Amino acid sequence: MLSSRAKYALRATLALTEELPSGRWTSAQTIAERSDIPRKFLEAILVQLRDQGLVQSRRGPVGGHKLMKPAEAITVADVIRIIDGPIALTPCASRTRFGVCRDCKDMHSCQLTGLMQRVRDAAAGVLEGCTLADLTKAPKLATDLDLTPF
């Protein structure tokens, strides 16, 4: 499940994406207000994004935050991995942080590993195939979905 932190990070990076054409620095306060994110929570997220090289920060009255790369070069998966870690549901299915599940007796005979790897591949394929630029161009999901029951 996607954490609140990851959702906030995505909202914040989308707000920064919308500011890219202006070339201006965007304050944490402006991002928080536009994206409906608690400011203190946002500041911790921006530090994490900065430390991982996704966002640059500058102090002072004309300071703020900017994306370090073009929005076309930042995927949704990049942001989620920085905040939440691997996309995989289990450690044994992770490509970036592979590990044996705590309760696994023998990973080689586990009947779930293959399924979890397919789930990871499907989720990663969608998230890696969608950039911040794509999201800013996409129509709002709620208006696009056909919510008619089967």
User: What are the residue boundaries of the structural domains of the chain, listed by start?
Assistant: 4-67, 75-138
Write out pLDDT tens, residues 81-114. 999 998 888 888 888 777 777 877 777 778 888 8
Provide the β-strand partners of residue 66: 56
Q: Name the architecture of domain 4-67.
A: Orthogonal Bundle (1.10)
Q: Which comes out higher in pLDDT, residue 141 or 128?
A: 128
Whole-number percent of the chain with pLDDT over 90: 59
Residue type present at position 51 = D
Residues 6+ apart with CB under 8 A from 79: 6, 9, 10, 13, 49, 54, 132
User: Which of 59, 62, 74 lies closest to 16, judged by CA?
Assistant: 74
Write out pLDDT tens, residues 122-134. 999 999 999 999 9
- Contact predicate 71/31, CB 8 Å: no
Q: What is the mean pLDDT of the chain?
A: 87
pLDDT-based confidence at 27, cuts 50/70/90?
very high
Extract the tokens encoding 52: 């991982």
Long-range contacts: 46-53, Cβ < 8 Å, 24+?
46/12, 48/9, 48/82, 48/83, 49/9, 49/12, 49/13, 49/79, 49/82, 49/83, 52/82
Residues 6+ apart with CB under 8 A from 80: 2, 6, 9, 10, 87, 127
